Amino acid sequence: MNRLLELRDQGQAVWLDYIRRDLLTAGRLAALVRDDGVTGVTSNPAIFNEAIGESSLYDAALEEILASEPDSSIVDLYEELAVRDIRRAADVLAPVFETTSGADGFVSLEVSPHLARDTAGTVAEARRLWQRVDRPNLMIKVPATAEGIPALEELLASGIHVNVTLMFSLAHYEAVAQAYLRGVGRAAEPGRVASVASFFVSRVDSKVDPLLAADGSEAALALAGKIGIANSKLAYARYREIFEGDAFAPLAARGARPQRVLWASTSTKNPAYRDVLYVEELIGPNTVNTVPPETLEAFRDHGESRPSLTEDVAAARGAVAALADLGLDLAALTEELQREGVEKFVQPFDALLATLAAKRDALRVA
């Protein structure tokens, strides 16, 4: 049996953290949906920068747009190229959306990372993109910043699907889950609104591991490669408390679905760790793992499935407590990760716009 399909049997959806024009035009995404059980696609500015800025796949489309609309701004050019890809991906995944009655089959498109600290701007851009893409299985990505949380609530209340991103801590998760309850509670049709809470994993280890190495003690080194997973297990435990408990029951009675936790940043950054570590150790019902192509291929080849998210939760709590005993403040480190995460999306977004400006100027000269 395909090892990726075993994740589905465990109640976990697999989404592809990647988008590019040839993935859509050559039937590769359709094959992943058909053969590997992929049920969603996520994108972000870094992915689009690689797809549009570092290949010639979009040059013909860029020429076409400029021929018909020569005065297009750089942002307009980017958005037109991105929207075309998002629509195509959404159409490939439409059968999944239909057969799951709107529970899966989503494609995510991010608001500008420059709006991460702008609630009103985020809401306005999300609504505009929702109308422009015009696909029922679109999810708008909104960061879990202090300014993004009220935007999340407002968008859910108006019936727009939201992928809440850049979550690194239990505090981030708590704020997002509570905003989901409020927003869906205000929605006219709660059962027609979907959302995922994107919790980042490997970046936590990338931040913490060097500090553990600098400490050098046996207790510190024993925690290397464990905090990202422990942190995630505690978030999932909180998910179960909220969505399997009394807090969600009234909304469930109105047809609302739980907000699934989505594991993001699940490629292994440290070559000393197993290349499917952040998939194998985060498997559980009502979750999503969004993986880049290389991680998807690795799991298909040698991944092992088991209900790992509910294993050793007490040990996960112990690992986080041991980190504090070493004087490392996980809450402060995860706040820093979120700030860095916003910047890591701003930089490729701006680089992409600069690349498009250069291509536009070259075409105008030609």
CA proximity to 268, closest of 348, 201, 168, 169 = 201
- As given in the structure block, the two tokens for residue 138 are 């679109």
For the chain, residues with pLDDT lower than 50 are none
CATH number at residue 181: 3.20.20.70
- As given in the structure block, the two tokens for residue 239 are 């998910």
Distances in Å between the Cα of 287 and the Cα atoms of 133, 196, 313 are 26, 9, 17
Number of domains composing the chain: 1
Structural domain harbouring 175: 3-365
SS3 label, residue 11: coil
Question: Quick check: is 226 catalytic?
Answer: no
Q: What is the pLDDT of residue 366?
A: 59
Map tokens 């679905």 to a residue.
257
Q: What is the pLDDT of residue 156?
A: 98
Q: What is the pLDDT of residue 365?
A: 64
Q: What is the pLDDT of residue 1?
A: 76
Q: What is the pLDDT of residue 282?
A: 98
**What is the DSSP annotation of 44-63?**
-HHHHIIIIIT-STTHHHHH
SS3 label, residue 281: coil
Q: State the Cα angle at 350 between 344 and 354, rounded to 5°.
A: 145
- What's the whole-model pTM score? 0.96
List the catalytic residue out of 141, 207, 226, 233: 141
Across the strands, what pairs with 110? 141
Q: Does residue 270 contact residue 209 with C-beta atoms inside 8 Å?
A: yes
- As given in the structure block, the two tokens for residue 316 are 């996960």
Q: From the centroid of its chain, how far is CA 164?
A: 7
d(CA 54, CA 56): 7
